[in-house]
A and B are shown apart, each in its own frame.
Chain A
Amino acid sequence: MRRLTVPLILAAVLGLLVTLAQGGGLDLYTQSVLMFMGINVIMSASLNLINGHMGEFACGHAAFMAVGAYVSSLITVALFAQDTVFGAPLLPESLSVAFFPLALLAGAAVASLFGLLVAIPSFKTRGDYLAIVTIAANYIVKSAIENIDAIGGARGFMGMRRVTTAMESTAELPWMLIWCFVTAVFCVWVIRRYVTSTYGKGVMAICQDEVAAEIMSVNTNRIKLVTFMLSSGLAGLAGGLFAHVVGYVNPGSFTILKSTEAMVMVYMGGMGSISGSVISAVAFTLLLEALRPLQILKWVIIPLILILLMMFRPEGIMGNKELSDVFPRLKKYFKFK
Chain B
Amino acid sequence: METILQNILNALQWGSFYSLIALGYCLVYGVLLLINFAHGDVFMVGAYIAFFVATFFLGHYAFALPFDLPGWAILALSVPLVMILTAAVGVTLERVAYRPLRRKGAHRLYVVITALMCGLILSNGNLALLGASRRNFPELIDKVIFDFGWIRFTNLKVIVILTAVLVFIGLRLIVTRTKIGMAMRAISWDKFAIPLMGIPVDTVIVFTFILGSSVAGLGGLLFAMSYPILDPYMGAMVGWKAFIAAVVGGIGSIRGAFAGGFLLGFVEIMVVAVFPSTFRDLISFTILLIIMTYKPTGLFGMARTTKI
Contact = CB atoms under 8 A, between A and B. Distances in A.
The size class of the interface chain B forms with chain A is 35 or more
Nearest to B241: A139
A57 B109 contact: yes
Interface in A245-287: 256, 260, 263-264, 267, 271
A135 B248 CA distance: 13
A297 B101 CA distance: 25
Given A136-B289, A140-B282, A209-B308, A260 B116 contact: yes
Contacts, number: 126
Listed residue (B113, B127, B244, B292) with the most chain A CB atoms within 10 angstroms of its CB: B113
A133 B292 contact: yes
B231 to A, nearest CB: 13
Contacts of A7: none
Contacts of B285: 136, 139-140, 143
B293 A124 contact: yes
Interface stretch (A18-26, A91-99, A184-192, A307-315): A307-315
A44 B248 CA distance: 29
B117 A303 contact: yes
B240 interface: yes
A4 to B, nearest CB: 39
Contacts of B243: 132, 135
A323 interface: no
Nearest to A298: B124
B289 A140 contact: yes
Given A125-B292, A297-B128, A131 B113 contact: no
Given A124-B293, A296-B127, A303-B120, A211 B112 contact: no
A210 B288 CA distance: 25
Query: Per DSSP, are chain B's interface residues mostly helix, strand or loop, or mixed?
Result: helix
Contacts of A57: 109, 112
B203 interface: no
Given A129-B298, A132-B244, A139 B107 contact: no
Report the contact-size class of chain A (Cβ under 8 Å from the partner). Answer: 35 or more
Interface in A111-158: 117, 120-121, 124-126, 128-129, 131-133, 135-137, 139-140, 142-144, 146-147, 154
A129 B113 CA distance: 16
B68 to A, nearest CB: 38
A137 B282 CA distance: 9
A306 interface: yes
A9 interface: no
A264 B109 CA distance: 12
A300 B289 CA distance: 32
Contacts of A314: 101, 104, 106-107, 110
A304 interface: yes
B244 A136 contact: yes
B113 A267 contact: yes
Interface in A170-218: 209-212, 215
Given A310-B110, A311-B101, 13 more contacts: A57-B109, A120-B293, A121-B292, A124-B296, A125-B296, A132-B244, A143-B279, A147-B278, A215-B308, A306-B114, A307-B121, A310-B114, A311-B100
Interface of A: 51, 57, 117, 120-121, 124-126, 128-129, 131-133, 135-137, 139-140, 142-144, 146-147, 154, 209-212, 215, 256, 260, 263-264, 267, 271, 296-297, 299-300, 302-304, 306-307, 310-311, 314
The 5 A-B pairs with the shortest beta carbon distances in the complex, nearest first, are: A303-B117, A143-B281, A299-B124, A143-B282, A314-B106
22 contacts: A51-B109, A117-B289, A121-B292, A124-B293, A125-B293, A128-B29, A128-B35, A129-B298, A132-B248, A132-B288, A133-B289, A135-B244, A139-B285, A140-B289, A143-B280, A263-B113, A300-B125, A303-B121, A306-B113, A307-B118, A310-B101, A314-B110
